[in-house]
Structure 1
């Protein structure tokens, strides 16, 4: 199954669609909840929020480690809420899997100047046999011009090709591949 968002749709369209699908799958019909189920639903929301925060931290750490070694920059500028949105979409894509997020391997890549660089491989729970792979492709903001600082630093204390800051685009791509099925993967592009 392939699902994508065309260029003229906002990134919120996929997020809203995924949110509604995930919440429908997770809780069934909200009107069916009784008093005790309501408390359980609140605990699940808190647990999901903690998992989302932890996943966002994993992505931030991946970018931090890749700054100097693979991205050749001193800082990565990330649009507000981008990492959080990616974490939510990853959680939603993993909700239909047999082991959930625990059965995932996440590859973090960066598309820079029409080339894709591998940044990191995240195994969420190494004690679980992976059931699916997610490939996250972050994109460089093509609209940003290099800063004057980058020109001054070239040829001084940093190696050639080293840039001061790399700005990420708010757009990204998530590709899901089930390891136990021969069906086509799911592609979500925001």
Structure 2
């Protein structure tokens, strides 16, 4: 199957262009197997158009592990939960700013922790925003970007620290 790789890197949607670093993606395809799976993830990522290339690039700072990190990140970046967060005005760039201080081989796990902490799986199989987070965002008018700024530099247990922070904000706002 021949596929124009260049067509994967730029997608124009409603007069906006999303560019993805060709060098990083070339490295991904050159250094990893499962090339077709990776291409499908990239296609999904471009179709969703919800994650800026700069957010992804900010997580790929170690050249020697870029391809491995990107392979681990692609399933997380295309996860439907990331789209759900966007619906609640939580940009992936905020999540990226939280996890970027994590060592590159643990970034995908850290993103999973954030997703597991911010979203709750309901009995019907659908995800919803954590009630505590909903309260903090809507009723207390605290943006997730502000929460992300507080969490920058946390190097482990991001989920636990985020949960604790949400509880603290709720307690503070209740008084």
TM-score normalised over the length of structure 1:
0.26
Greater CA radius of gyration, 1 or 2? 1
Q: Which has the higher helix share?
A: 2
- Structure number with greater CO (CA < 8 Å, separation at least 6) is 1
Q: Which has the higher strand share?
A: 1
